[in-house]
Amino acid sequence: MQSNNQVKQVKVATWTELQDRIPANALIADVDLVIIRYDNQVSVFFGRCLHRGALLADGYIEGNNLICGLHFWDYRFDTGVSDYNNEERLQKFSSWIDETNNAVYVDENEIRHWTNENPQPYDRNSYLGKYADIHGTPEEPHNNYISELARNGLKNFGHHGQTSAMGVPLTELPRWDGIQIVTAQLAHRPLMDDEPVKTKLAIGYGAKKPLVLDIPIFVSDMSFGALSAEAKTALAIGAEMAGTGICSGEGGMLPEASDQRFRRYLHI
């Protein structure tokens, strides 16, 4: 409750009509609220999901959480904090129960004060009204366009509707997102497919004893124990024949691992 405001007590629900752990809605100062009675206590929160603004009074209670009915985001019904991500928290408004008058009250001034920082965008008399999706997501780039058509028809586009240059459909034009730039190719021009290349490489060029491989492929890290002694030895011999090495894995090691004939690297 804002201490610098006078309390303006308004009834938000009839106490005995609230069902235990069944979310109820209310509208105060043009702010949707969700009210949850649990045993002999009550919580009043901002009534819209922080994800896409769904009405939380359309959700349900599961355990200690108020669950949004659309994509199941959760909020503790006593604190408004999301169990899943504690950074997300529904605004909780002051509320109190007056059993004599059979009412739950909130402070309208507190809610109005909150709307200064959180103006509510819903035009309740227009198309979609309180169910409008004011967020949208990158996965749904055309929702606003569809809503505009539903709201105003072609009034704002002219009778041809939306057009783009030369009639090329926007979705078929190349986009930056579709171009993959291989940064290595910015430094050296790539070779043609049939040009011979050296595959030899060294790991640790500046080291006293760099690990030199004939090919940029090695036998991966499966330790002795995961593989039998015979399999490890066979793979080491095969790797050596191919001009590369074998990784120790992080488990057991064979005594032969120190055999200088093999290029081995230690998995740490």
Decide if residue 68 touches ligand FES (CB under 6 A): yes
Query: Which stretch, 45-53, 195-203, 207-215, 248-256, contacts ligand FES (CB under 6 A)?
Result: 45-53
Q: What is the C-alpha separation between 221 and 47, in angstroms, rounded?
A: 53
72 torsion bin: left (phi>0), alpha (psi -120 to 50), beta (else): left
Query: Which stretch, 49-57, 76-84, 123-131, 151-159, contacts ligand FES (CB under 6 A)?
Result: 49-57
- Smallest separation, CB 133 to ligand FES (Å): 9
Q: Which of 15, 46, 73, 75 binds ligand FES (CB under 6 A)?
A: 73
150 torsion bin: left (phi>0), alpha (psi -120 to 50), beta (else): alpha
CA distances from 166 to 141, 145, 170, 199 (A): 22, 20, 10, 48
CA distances from 232 to 54, 162, 163, 259, 267 (A): 58, 65, 65, 13, 14
Decide if residue 71 touches ligand FES (CB under 6 A): yes
Query: Which stretch, 68-76, 138-146, 212-220, 222-230, contacts ligand FES (CB under 6 A)?
Result: 68-76
Query: Which stretch, 64-72, 160-168, 173-181, 193-201, contacts ligand FES (CB under 6 A)?
Result: 64-72
Q: What is the C-alpha separation between 94 and 137, in angstroms, rounded?
A: 32
CA 69 distance to own-chain centroid = 18
- Smallest separation, CB 69 to ligand FES (Å): 7
Nearest CB to ligand FES, comparing residues 26 and 54:
54
Token pair in block for residue 34: 């969700």
Nearest CB to ligand FES, comparing residues 85 and 162:
85
Per CB under 6 A, residues contacting ligand FES are: 49, 51-52, 54, 68, 70-73
